[in-house]
Amino acid sequence: MFYLFILESIGTSELLLIGLVALIIFGPRKLPELARMLGKARNEFKRTTDDFRETWTREVNFESQEKQIETELITETSIQRDTISMKNEIVAPEIKEVSQADFQESFSPKEISIPKKIDDGTSDKRDWL
């Protein structure tokens, strides 16, 4: 930033004097090469700073989006909990009187029939399954 103040205070005659001194020191053959190198360096510096600025803004936007998504998820889960708690209200158990006959009928062991294997003499490898 300091060089901007220097360039504002330099007039046309000062710039001509600087150019003349540079021409005398570096010569007419080296001066265009130096100017080209300075231009490339300036462009590379500008490109790097622009990339850094874009990366910085992208990261800041990414963090703000993450925070927004987190708040949306928190509100969604709280809404879901509220609706689930409303659906799953605890209901008092119903008490019934059961007679001895009803109890034995519902819990008596029932006979289970197991089908018997019919052996027709043809055994296969798949029989063991």
The tens place of each residue's pLDDT in the chain, 129 residues long, gives: 555 566 677 788 888 898 889 889 988 888 889 889 989 999 999 999 999 999 988 888 888 888 888 787 777 776 666 665 556 566 777 888 878 887 777 766 665 555 565 555 565 566 555
Do the Cβ atoms of 55 and 47 come closer than 8 Å?
Answer: no
Q: Has residue 120 been placed in a domain?
A: no
* Predicted pLDDT at 66: 81
φ, ψ for residue 127, nearest 5 deg: -65, -30
Tokens 């119903």 correspond to 94
* Predicted pLDDT at 105: 77
Q: Has residue 51 been placed in a domain?
A: yes
Q: Has residue 114 been placed in a domain?
A: no
Q: Has residue 6 been placed in a domain?
A: no
Q: Has residue 99 been placed in a domain?
A: no
Q: Has residue 124 been placed in a domain?
A: no
Q: Has residue 96 been placed in a domain?
A: no
First to last CA, the chain: 86
Answer positive or negative: Cα dihedral of 25, 29, 35, 41: negative
Predicted TM-score of the model (pTM): 0.40
* Predicted pLDDT at 48: 94
* Predicted pLDDT at 86: 57
Interval 92-116: pLDDT, tens: 778 888 788 877 777 666 655 555 6
How many folded domains does the chain comprise? 1
Q: Which domain holds residue 43?
A: 32-79
Q: Has residue 39 been placed in a domain?
A: yes
* Predicted pLDDT at 83: 61
